[in-house]
């Protein structure tokens, strides 16, 4: 019996690994450098892959980044729920790759961290694209509540080149009259 169970466990584990990581997807590349002083501030979510931790968000999703005294980054995510209430979550981001500042890890519930890789960035930091190496998270962020359609279309083309499925993106409703407190 033991001779059957151990190979079955190994085969099951191998199958899970094979399906968990797309073999055809190349390694995810980040931008070459991020100036964290320019990156901090308010970002509006333009689109995202659906996530369990944003399931209550209905509209006006923002992220506010600020530098903490220890050099880490304070993260405050806010949104308006379907019932009109504001929900906020505070976390911490830590730079993992100090040569580029493009790879971070973020926690909203220590000791659990998620990979936060900046894979696209406008030349004037007017937009950012954030994902992770497994390609199961993706956010398009902007300094303004909307992006010009040609810019958004170019971002989608670049995301597709990073082996992301753009059909999974959900656009975020942003109302320009809402200014969520951070």
The answer to whether position 145 is within a domain reads yes
pLDDT in tens, 130-152: 999 999 999 999 999 999 999 99
Q: Rounded to an integer, what distance in angstroms lies between the CA atom of residue 149 and that of residue 67?
A: 31
Say whether pLDDT at 14 is over 50: no
Lowest mean pLDDT among 18-22, 77-81, 122-126: 18-22
Q: What is the pTM of this model?
A: 0.83
Which residues of the chain form beta strands (DSSP E)?
41-48, 57-67, 73-81, 86-95, 103-109, 112-121, 127-131, 138-142, 170-171
In 3D, which of 142, 160, 165 has the Cα closest to residue 47? 142
The answer to whether position 16 is within a domain reads no
Given this model, what pLDDT does residue 70 score?
A: 94
Say whether pLDDT at 77 is over 70: yes
**φ, ψ of residue 62 in degrees (nearest 5):** -135, 160
The answer to whether position 133 is within a domain reads yes
Number of domains in the chain: 1
What residue numbers bound the domain in which 142 lies?
36-171
CB 59 within 8 A of CB 39: no
Given this model, what pLDDT does residue 23 score?
A: 52
Percent residues over pLDDT 90 in the chain: 76
Residue 102: CATH number of its domain: 2.40.128.20
Say whether pLDDT at 22 is over 60: no
Lowest mean pLDDT among 5-14, 20-29, 89-98, 143-152: 5-14
Given this model, what pLDDT does residue 5 score?
A: 38
The answer to whether position 30 is within a domain reads no
Given this model, what pLDDT does residue 7 score?
A: 35
Higher pLDDT, 53 or 137: 137
The answer to whether position 24 is within a domain reads no
The answer to whether position 73 is within a domain reads yes
Given this model, what pLDDT does residue 53 score?
A: 75
* Mean pLDDT value across the chain: 86
Higher pLDDT, 180 or 159: 159
Cα distance from N-terminal residue to C-terminal residue, the chain: 59
The answer to whether position 29 is within a domain reads no
The answer to whether position 21 is within a domain reads no
């Amino acid at each position: 019996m033991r001779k059957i169970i151990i190979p079955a466990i190994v085969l099951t584990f191998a199958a899970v690994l094979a399906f968990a990581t797309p073999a055809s997807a190349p390694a995810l590349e980040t931008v070459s450098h991020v100036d964290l002083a320019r990156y901090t501030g308010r970002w509006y979510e333009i689109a995202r892959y659906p996530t369990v931790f944003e399931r209550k968000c209905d509209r006006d999703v923002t992220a506010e980044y600020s530098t903490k005294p220890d050099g880490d980054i304070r993260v405050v995510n806010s949104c308006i729920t379907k019932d009109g209430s504001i929900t906020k979550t505070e976390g911490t981001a830590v730079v993992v790759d100090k040569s580029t500042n493009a790879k971070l890890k973020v926690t909203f519930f220590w000791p659990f961290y998620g990979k936060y890789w900046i894979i696209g960035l406008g030349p004037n930091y007017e937009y950012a694209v954030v994902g992770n190496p497994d390609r199961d998270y993706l956010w398009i962020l902007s300094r303004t509540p909307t992006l010009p359609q040609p810019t958004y279309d170019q971002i989608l083309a670049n995301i597709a080149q990073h082996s992301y499925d753009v059909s999974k993106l959900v656009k975020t409703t942003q109302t320009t009259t809402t200014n969520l407190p951070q």
